[in-house]
Amino acid sequence: MKKAVLTLSVLALALSMAACSDKPSAPEQAVAETAIAQSMDNVLLAEFTGPYSGVPAFDKMSLADLKPALEKGMELNLAEIDKIANNPEPATFQNTIVEMERAGSELDRVFTYYGIWSSNNSTPEFRKIQQEMAPIISAFSSKIIQNKNLFERVQAVYRSEELKSLTSEEQRITWMRYNGFARNGATLNDEDKKRYADINQELASLHTQFSNNVLADEENYVLYLNQDQLTGLPQSFVNAAAGMADIRDNKGKYAITNTRSSMDPFLTYSEDRGLREKVWNTYYSRGDNGDEYDNNELVKKILTLRHERITLLGYDNYAQWRLEDRMAKTPERAMDLMEKVWPAAIARVKEEVADMQAIADAEGASITIEPWDYRFYAEKVRKDKYALDSDEVKQYLQLGKLREAMFFVAGELFNFEFTPVADGKVPVFNPEVKVWDVTDKTSGEHIGLWYLDPFARQGKRSGAWATTYRSYTTFDGKQTVLSSNNSNFVKGPEGEPTLISWDDAETYFHEFGHALHFLSATVAYPSSHSGVRDYTEFQSQLLERWLLTDEVINNYLVHYKTGEPIPQDLVTKIKNASTFNEGFKTTEYMASAIMDLLYHTTDPAKIEPDSFERDELGRLGMPKEIVMRHRTTQFGHIFSGEGYAAAYYGYMWAEVLTSDAAEAFAEAPGGFYDKEVADRLVKYLFSVRNAMDPEEAYRKFRGRDAKVEALMRDRGFPVTSSD
């Protein structure tokens, strides 16, 4: 699945409770002038300056400034919170909730830079600071969460008559504030509060260590190949592997890095079965090598501490607590969705394996399909069954042209226009990062900036993600958006375009969907940008559908050498194969989602990660030819932080919405570019962010709840119940 919007694990509670905004404290606050003066001494704390209402000073960021900036930012934020909590005036929405929305602007800016070091430009020096500061940041968060006076003031507003006179968005953020306190230990006695805070500090350190261990295994394991070991690999991949070896001072060799962007195509095309097995084992053993970077004990500690923490709050298990304010509401409802789809998924895998085995037998391979064979023989089946060659398709998938296609879609649906910003006008953290000015096509009004960091490099975390450096708000004056997309595409040879796979093209559109979600916001307050985890992937998953529209295919999928449009017969093959290998994709994802729920509904005392994973997958009937998309010891979504813990199912929950919403477009007179449906899409599903309850928002768009049958149809699975 595609990765979600970046969430810094050590900040999850701090940011949700302090609601760091994009504006400095109000002038009447006593700390304001002092804060501004101190901020200017450290570029990481300073207000954004320059064009477009100010932009991050990425060209001036220094790791030496990070720790003091974090310390000062937390100090300033706590002073603001203390002032709000001890205000002698009766609590009101303005003097309590709004002031909390306003607080923390300096710290918010620090974490913009922190996020770059954490995800885009990580170094051993940064990771040392990260490990040191994680428990300190957690303690800072606890000081806010456990501030009794602050909670009482929030509670007073939540229970006041004033609440009825507020806008729907203001009522919702007041509820979110109250709920955030109540669900995170604000009502505990002093002894339990201390233990709760101690647990959070321990978890912050463990989450960071887990993430860094996986990154270490990705950086430390590189397979260097000779010319005679490249049989079957596309020339574009060979060129990229040579480039990766060059930057690692192994000129003349070919580097297969321990990342998905390198592993996946290698397993798809390499004819050397022994090397495929080696690459597969190395990738799926990350965090599970019995060395200093092994994550098995960390998993046990994390699960134990999470369980202890929720028992303090009176819950039976972590998933029960986590899902209470999500769309699913309970782990049972989430698991029910998984169980509806799982049998069809593994049944499809059996069909896929049978097709692969038949080809292997016909070729006289004398093998039984193993996990490191799946992608390789799936590609052979694709060619045999659909006459579809993935590498042939790739010749029409140029990164630059796909970006133009995304801009076209954004223009048609959102009325956005993207104009390149000249190099040097806006600071960037790497020369490969490019920036675009986003405006309204009709009025020319500036909406925000879009940063793109597309290519893999050492120190950059794997996968793809989207984030913001500043979100849209109006409560304190209009703030425009600074959004970014980040990928790990393997850069093409010098002077040639970067070509990507169809799956990567879908991911590109997916992450751009997150960016459009940021850019289209019309909310007033920072808290309205906090996402509901099993809803937040919906908008991005939906945008993937526009890749297969005729308007995109006919105008932007052109051959990288000849410029000729992709042939219609090849397009037909792509569409005919749209559910090809769906058993593999659904099963590897669902295995991870189900295991996530099992980890967080089972007594941790009964869990040994390796055996628990093996035994539970065996009980589920997991096909032996497939492993979890994210094996336990590398499952960063749930163990590098808590954003997706007990919530990885959310991708499929969102996929139900996606499939159902896509049918709304398919049924419309104008298809996927129907203006009426597009207007409802923007109005109810994108622009409102979290200012409206997701279920209510979807009903306003569709006129009813989403139906799981749409998902089954989408994946080519049997529909067992009628609409």
Q: For the chain, first and last CA: distance in Å?
A: 27
Tell me the pLDDT band of 523, cut-offs 50, 70 and 90: very high
What phi and psi values does residue 473 have, to the nearest 5 degrees?
Answer: -150, 160
Pairing outcome for strands 481-489 and 465-470: antiparallel
Distance CA 357, CA 335 (A): 32
* Separation in Å, CA 559 to CA 384, 492, 546, 553, 563: 23, 15, 19, 12, 5
- What is the reported pLDDT for 721? 60
Half-sphere exposure of 73 (CA within 13 A, CB side): 33
Predicted confidence (pLDDT) per residue in 283-310, tens digit: 999 999 999 999 999 999 999 999 999 9
93-102: b or e for each residue (b if 16 or more CB lie within 10 Å)? Answer: beebbbbbbb
Residue 165 burial class via C-beta count within 10 angstroms: exposed 0-12, middle 13-18, buried 19 and up: exposed
Mean pLDDT value across residues 696-712: 96
Tell me the pLDDT band of 266, cut-offs 50, 70 and 90: very high
* Separation in Å, CA 720 to CA 201, 334, 340, 394, 709: 47, 19, 9, 36, 8
| Tokens, residue 91 | 């609590």
Break the chain into its structural domains and give their ranges.
Answer: 9-187, 221-284
Predicted confidence (pLDDT) per residue in 183-217, tens digit: 999 999 999 999 999 999 999 999 999 999 999 99
Q: Which CATH number fits domain 9-187: 3.30.110.30, 2.40.50.140, 1.10.760.10, 1.10.1370.40?
A: 1.10.1370.40
Distance CA 551, CA 681 (A): 19
**DSSP codes, 654-715:** HHHHHHHHHHHHHHSTTGGG-HHHHHHIIIIIITTTTSS-HHHHHHHHHSS---HHHHHHHT
| Tokens, residue 96 | 């309590």
Tell me the pLDDT band of 30, cut-offs 50, 70 and 90: very low
- Is there a contact between 296 and 578 (Cβ–Cβ < 8 Å)? no
- What is the reported pLDDT for 41? 85
Mean pLDDT value across residues 627-635: 97
List the one residue out of 35, 18, 11 whose CA is nearest residue 134: 11
Q: Rounded mean pLDDT of the chain? A: 93
Is the per-residue pLDDT at 25 higher than 80?
Answer: no
List the one residue out of 37, 15, 13, 14 whose CA is nearest residue 25: 37
Query: How long, in residues, is the chain?
Result: 723
Higher pLDDT, 21 or 284: 284
Tell me the pLDDT band of 40, cut-offs 50, 70 and 90: low
Predicted confidence (pLDDT) per residue in 480-499, tens digit: 999 999 999 989 888 999 99
Distance CA 523, CA 472 (A): 7
Helix (H) or strand (E) holding 282: helix 273-284
Distance CA 64, CA 718 (A): 58
Distance CA 615, CA 617 (A): 6
Distance CA 157, CA 603 (A): 38
Beta carbons within 8 Å of 52's beta carbon, 6+ residues apart: 426, 437, 446, 448, 449, 480, 482
Q: What percent of the chain shows pLDDT beyond 90?
A: 90
Distance CA 122, CA 125 (A): 8
Tell me the pLDDT band of 35, cut-offs 50, 70 and 90: very low
Predicted confidence (pLDDT) per residue in 146-181, tens digit: 999 999 999 999 999 999 999 999 999 999 999 999
- Is there a contact between 386 and 580 (Cβ–Cβ < 8 Å)? yes
Predicted confidence (pLDDT) per residue in 58-86, tens digit: 999 999 999 999 999 999 999 999 999 99
What phi and psi values does residue 487 have, to the nearest 5 degrees?
Answer: -135, 180
| Tokens, residue 649 | 């199912």
Helix, strand, or coil here: 569?
helix
The 3-state secondary structure of 403-463, one letter per residue: HHHHHHHHHHHHCEEEEECCCCCCCCCCCCCEEEEEEECCCCCEEEEEEEEEECCCCCCCC
Distance CA 678, CA 670 (A): 10
Global model pTM greater than 0.95: no
- Is there a contact between 90 and 400 (Cβ–Cβ < 8 Å)? no
Predicted confidence (pLDDT) per residue in 314-328, tens digit: 999 999 999 999 999
| Tokens, residue 561 | 């050498």
* Separation in Å, CA 81 to CA 105, 110, 146, 457, 691: 12, 18, 12, 40, 23
Residue 415 burial class via C-beta count within 10 angstroms: exposed 0-12, middle 13-18, buried 19 and up: middle
Distance CA 107, CA 303 (A): 29
Q: What is the dihedral of CA 102, 105, 111, 112, to 10 degrees?
A: 100
What phi and psi values does residue 481 have, to the nearest 5 degrees?
Answer: -90, 140
- Is there a contact between 630 and 315 (Cβ–Cβ < 8 Å)? no
List the one residue out of 201, 199, 309, 297 whose CA is nearest residue 607: 297
Predicted confidence (pLDDT) per residue in 427-470, tens digit: 999 999 999 999 999 999 999 999 999 999 989 998 899 999 99
- What is the reported pLDDT for 218? 94
Distance CA 151, CA 157 (A): 10
State the CB neighbour count (10 A cutoff) for residue 227.
11
